[in-house]
Amino acid sequence: MTPSINKSRRNFIKVSAAAGGGMLIGINFLNCAPDKIPVEVMKAIPKEWFEFDSYIKIGETGLVTIFSANPEIGQNIKTSMPMIVAEELDVDWKDVVVEQAPLNTEWYTRQVAGGSQSIRQGWTTLRRAGALARKMLVDTAADQWQSESADCYVEKGIVKHKDGRELSYGELASQASQRETPDPESVPLKKSSDFSIIGKSKRNVDMEGILSGEPLFGLDYKREGMIYATAMRPPAFGQILKDYDDTETKKINGVLDVIKFGDKIAVLAENTWAAMKGKRVLKANYTQEGKAEDSEYHSKTLRDHLEKKSDEPLRVDGNVDKAFAEADEIFEKTYEAPFLPHACMEPMNFFAHVTDEKVDMVGPIQTPAWTQSRIANLLERDAEDITIQMTRMGGGFGRRLYGDFALEAAEISHLSKKPIKLVFSREDDMLAGTYRPASAYKFKVGIKNSEVTAYHLTEAFFNGSMFGQMHSNFPCGAIENYRVDSHNIPSNVTTGAWRAPYANFLAYAEQAFLDELATRLNKDAVALRLELFDKAKNNPVGEPHNYEVDKFVGVIKLAAEKSNWGNAPDGVYQGFSAYYSHNTYVAEVAEVVVKEKVPTIQKVICAVDCGIVINPKAALNQIEGGIIDGIGHALYGDFNFVAGQTQSTNYHQYRLIRMPESPEIEVHFVESKNDPTGLGEPTLPPAGGALANALAAATGERYYSQPFVKINDVLG
């Protein structure tokens, strides 16, 4: 695209938000000063929009608005999902404007960002939405021509008759939108070989706003009369508020009010700075009611549980104990990882305006529908009274699944009777997290005649245990005697999903273990895996396992081939890792070099099978990000509790990976015609293992605990 088209596209987007109407009402905070719009662009802006379904409206000029229903957290679905609609609608992508839809449980199913499921679960719905509208437009043209739809075809938003007549979507929209919606099942979908938008990289639809600093994010949101709020929460888990003194707070310029709600105290102010400052001088006393947990306790508790079997194992094939008794050798390793905050770049925040008539919520949220029902409960209101608009999110990683911040905002607005925006400082964000739980895994195998005859995995996890079919992941099915035990240990630390839940550390432990096991067996790491896959394919053990051998082997072989596995140049040490999660198969080879005695990761070669790739450049972005995120947290993710209180309060005490430590990433997709799966998460789980295995190859040292680099090593 040339820059001039860029600019007009940007203006289209602005104008369309300004033009408003129907579903757009209320979303026009997207900074759309009408005086900035050049006159020639105005002509293309429709006077009227005709709605086809909840995803599409078409104006009389032929401009198409496609609504993106799911929340955007940086996974780029605001571009990729409308691409799927546009493909079946058969329009030119440059004539498409994308708008974020508000929460509407009648129009949309699953308005959630989580589990890498948006694309996978939206795929058919979105294609149908496009195909239905296309059919209505084609049928309308055929009627006008007194002809058959079968004699018509579509090219870039123009219905053409084989005799040469043409009608544009813009000309047809008004009439077509009145038609009865055809039965979705009756509308054929395109063959993947006919795709012209899907599979071609399309730039992020919010690019212009991001590059020019427009207010896209929750923290940027402003409303006439809005005031700002910060909240002081108990500083440690297990504590409750005893009393507080707000004398100093009230002396701060700009502070308007101090309100207690539950165990928390809100400071309301004219601006963010005053609200933050007011909170800083607020004095409060707390009493310890619940257990004051610290990291030593967490670690010991996890390890103690690993020595026990659970009452109900998650899976049992054969008899591991018998096999262990008969084995030549037992090989056993334990892996441990700490709690982790999400550390999204945009701290938690939410706008709320609670009045007698309605509850108006705006902000960054991965789960708008769940949040709506929780606010309804909290305020004892009907869900219908509550509207939720989703802003672009400055990262989520699971943190914004939990609407605690939205509920707090609603409560503060309810009590203060004002439109407020609740803002977390970075410190608040670190102290009031829904952390990735600390966990530990023990792997124990029995070896007889150089074969693995038994495999016993024990999990110890706070506030959860592996879910779904995770216990039937590889190498389940490949080993005669196989058992998974799991201990779900309660903790009063608030916990939740963190990018690739469970898999984010389980994969690390498993892949580091398999690597060490291969070394123990004198086998190549890839060869050992392929041997096991062979068994799982030809002679599977027990109930069906949770992976497709061919797809898994496909990515492993591709990564091995592209990385020249086993033949790295002198001085380059490779580590292998492969994992299946979120319906996507991933294999990664990390390459470590030793520079001045310091091992450094310089490259990761990655093979992915995620079915059809919708938006290649954006898909690569997710993959690159996932891998670097996995490596960063394996290296540096250090987070500790003392007496229930987090010890890291800001980025100076919580190290995130930065540019100098980030490796180059090379990605290879398995060519596929299968329905697409997600990419937001699945490249993260194998990354830490690939790194650990490469480090072991380079230095001989094995890492059994994350992070490899402790924060105290850095801070001294």
Partner 1 sequence: MATYTIFVNGSSKTVNADPDTPLLWVLRDELGLVGTKYGCGIAQCGACTVHLDGAAMRSCVLPISTISDQKVITIEGLDSENSHPLQEAWREHDVPQCGYCQAGQIMNAAALLKENKNPSDDAIDEAMRGNICRCATYPRIKKAIKTAADKL
Site string for ligand FES, 474-493 (x = CB under 6 A): --------------------
Least spacing, CB of residue 615 vs partner 1, in Å: 9
699 contact choice in partner 1, ligand FES, none (CB below 5 to 8 Å, kind-dependent):
none
Q: Interface residues for partner 1 in 599-618 (CB under 8 A)? A: 617-618
Q: How far is the CB of 367 from partner 1 (least distance, A)?
A: 17
- Cα three-residue angle 429-434-437, rounded to 5 degrees: 130
Q: How many residues bind partner 1 (CB under 8 A)?
A: 69
Q: How, if at all, do strands 598-609 and 584-595 pair?
A: antiparallel
Tell me whether residue 130 or residue 209 sits nearer to partner 1 (CB atom): 209
Q: How far apart are the two ends of the chain, measured CA to CA in Å?
A: 50
CB of 361 to ligand FES, least distance (A): 23
CB-based burial of residue 213 (10 Å sphere; 0-12 exposed, 13-18 middle, 19+ buried)?
exposed
- Report the alpha-carbon angle 99-104-107, nearest 5: 90
| 308: partner contacted, choices partner 1, ligand FES, none (Cβ within 5-8 A by kind) | none
Instruction: Pick the closer one to partner 1 by CB: 130 or 625.
Output: 625
**Residue 397 beta carbon to ligand FES: minimum distance, rounded to whole angstroms:** 10
Nearer Cβ to ligand FES (153/651): 651
Residue number, 246 or 629, with CB nearest to ligand FES: 629
Task: Compute the least distance from the CB of residue 630 to partner 1, in Å.
Answer: 9
Cα separation, 45 vs 651, in Å, equals: 45
Query: Rounded to the nearest whole angstrom, what is the least distance from the CB of residue 260 to ligand FES in the complex?
Result: 29
The residue (of 9 and 342) whose beta carbon lies closer to ligand FES is 342
| Binding flag, residue 662, ligand FES (CB under 6 A) | no
6: partner contacted, choices partner 1, ligand FES, none (Cβ within 5-8 A by kind) = partner 1
Least Cα distance to 499 among 668, 305, 632, 364 occurs for: 632
Which residues, 377 to 436, sit near partner 1 by CB under 8 A?
Answer: 392-397, 425-426
Residues 54-113 that bind partner 1 (CB under 8 A): 73-76
Contacting partner 1 (CB under 8 A), which of 56, 83, 91, 216?
216
CA dihedral 670, 190, 59, 113 (to 10 degrees): -40
Q: Which does 637 bind (CB under 5 to 8 A by kind): ligand FES, partner 1, none?
A: none
Question: CA-CA distance, 381 to 352, in Å (whole number)?
Answer: 14
Q: From the CA atom positions of the chain, what is the Rg in Å?
A: 28
Of 480, 514, 453, residue with least CA distance to 689: 514
Cβ-based nearer residue to ligand FES, 395 or 540: 395
Closer residue to ligand FES in complex, CB, 187/628:
628
Q: Are 135 and 70 in contact (CB under 8 A)?
A: no
User: Is 271 or 355 the residue whose CB approaches partner 1 more closely?
Assistant: 271
408 binds, among ligand FES, partner 1, none (CB under 5 to 8 A by kind): none
Per partner kind, with CB cut-offs from 5 to 8 A, the member of partner 1, ligand FES, none near residue 204 is partner 1
* Residues in contact with ligand FES, shown as a per-residue x/- string from 262 to 281 under the rule CB under 6 A: --------------------
Q: Which two tokens stand for residue 650?
A: 């800001």
Under the binding rule (CB under 8 A), the answer on residue 336 touching partner 1 is: no
| 60 vs 666 by CB, closer to partner 1 | 666
Residue 212, interface with partner 1 (CB under 8 A)? yes
**Interface with partner 1 in residues 615-654 (CB under 8 A):** 617-618, 621-622, 624-625, 628-629, 632, 650-652
Yes or no: say if 59 and 42 are a contact pair by the CB < 8 Å rule.
no
The DSSP 8-state label assigned to residue 639 in this structure reads -
- Between 74 and 157, CB nearer to ligand FES: 74
Cβ burial of 662 (10 Å; 0-12, 13-18, 19+) is: middle
Residue 207 interacting with ligand FES (CB under 6 A): no
Indicate the pairing of strand 451-462 with strand 481-489.
Answer: parallel
Q: Could you tell me the two tokens for 284? A: 């409060």
* String marking each residue 180-209 x if it binds partner 1 according to CB under 8 A: ---------------------x-xx-xxxx
CB of 339 to partner 1, least distance (A): 17
Give the separation between CA 309 and CA 302, rounded to whole angstroms. 13
Q: What is the spatial distance between Cα 293 and Cα 646, in angstroms, rounded to a whole number?
A: 10
β pairing state of 96-100 and 64-68: parallel
Closest CB 563 distance from partner 1, rounded Å: 17
- The beta strands (E) that lie in 169-238 are given as 227-232
- What's the closest the beta carbon of residue 603 comes to partner 1, in angstroms? 11
State which of residues 215, 318, 395, 542 lies at the interface with ligand FES (CB under 6 A): 395
Tell me how far apart the alpha carbons of residues 609 and 619 are, in angstroms, rounded to a whole number. 12
Contact flag: residue 662 with partner 1 (CB under 8 A): yes
* Nearest approach, Cβ of residue 95 and partner 1 (Å): 19
Question: Per CB under 8 A, which of residues 134..173 are in contact with partner 1?
Answer: none
- Contacts with ligand FES: how many residues (CB under 6 A)? 3
Residues 238-257 that bind ligand FES (CB under 6 A): none
Q: According to the 3-state scheme, what is the secondary structure of 496-553?
A: CCCCCCCHHHHHHHHHHHHHHHHHHCCCCHHHHHHHHHHHHHHCCCCCCCCCCHHHHH
677 binds, among ligand FES, partner 1, none (CB under 5 to 8 A by kind): none
Q: How far is CA 93 from CA 63, 249, 531, in A?
A: 10, 53, 47
The Cα-based distances of 505 to 149, 335, 463, 517, 634 in angstroms read 54, 9, 15, 18, 9
Report whether 159 contacts 137 (CB < 8 A). Answer: yes
Give me the 333-352 binding string for ligand FES, x by CB under 6 A, dash otherwise: ------------x-------
Query: Is 599 among the residues that bind ligand FES (CB under 6 A)?
Result: no
The first and second tokens of residue 115, run together, are 């589990």
Closest separation between CB of residue 569 and ligand FES, Å?
33
Greatest pairwise CA separation for the chain in angstroms: 84
CA 38 to centroid of chain Cα atoms: 38
**DSSP letter, residue 192:** G
State which residue, 93 or 397, has the beta carbon closest to ligand FES.
397
Question: CB under 8 Å to 400, separation ≥6 — which residues?
Answer: 71, 73, 113, 344, 348, 364, 365, 366, 367, 393
Q: Considering only residues 658, 673, 700, 715, which one is a binding residue for partner 1 as defined by CB under 8 A?
A: 658
The answer to whether 576 and 610 are in contact (CB under 8 A) is no
What is the rounded CA–CA span in Å between residue 216 and residue 488?
40
User: Among residue numbers 674 through 713, which ones bind ligand FES (CB under 6 A)?
Assistant: none
Tell me, residue by residue from 301 to 320, as one string, x for binding to ligand FES by CB under 6 A and - for no binding: --------------------
Q: What is the DSSP letter of 45?
A: S
Q: Does 74 bind ligand FES (CB under 6 A)?
A: yes
Nearer to partner 1, 204 or 504 (CB): 204
Residues making contact with ligand FES (CB under 6 A)? 74, 345, 395
Residues making contact with partner 1 (CB under 8 A)? 1, 3, 6-7, 10, 73-76, 201, 203-204, 206-217, 219-220, 222, 228, 253-254, 271-274, 276-277, 343-347, 392-397, 425-426, 617-618, 621-622, 624-625, 628-629, 632, 650-652, 656-660, 662, 664-665
